[in-house]
Amino acid sequence: MHALRRSKLRHLLDTRFKGDRGAFLKQSGLTKGRLSQLLDPDQPFGDVAARNLCERLSLDPGYFDQMDAQTVQWAVQFDALPQTIKDRWMDLVSMLGAPPGKP
């Protein structure tokens, strides 16, 4: 869920604010440090932060948790895969996210 929220935040920054972080900070009331935390994959992007940001930016409730139709379709197709293939896929994903030098 944290990754989805970060992805939606990046998309919002790129589309609605045209990459202008200053405009985003002004409208959202966040500090540079807090925005950096929300975008940092090692930091949580919790329910309260997502809800507060939706309110501050006048977004639909749950904006940061909603998946687009393509993502939902992919998730449904993934869920239909045999467990052995899902396990291999998850192994691959974990290797891609592992620190250098660790399998």
For the stretch 37-46, pLDDT in tens is: 999 988 999 9
Confidence (pLDDT) at 98: 59
The beta-carbon contacts of 11-15 under 8 Å, at least 24 apart in sequence, are 12/57, 12/59
pTM tops 0.75: no
Assess whether 9 and 59 both reside in one domain: yes
Residues 98 and 52 in one domain: no
Domain match, 7 and 47 both: yes
pLDDT tens sequence across 17-63: 999 999 999 999 999 999 999 999 889 999 999 999 999 999 999 99
Indicate whether 18 and 58 sit together in one domain.
Answer: yes
Number of domains in the chain: 2
Q: Do 54 and 78 reside in the same domain of the chain?
A: no
What is the Cα gyration radius of the chain?
A: 16
60 & 72 share domain: no
Residues 6 and 53 in one domain: yes
Question: Is 45 in the same domain as 76?
Answer: no
**Domain encompassing residue 28:** 2-65
One domain for residues 51 and 99: no
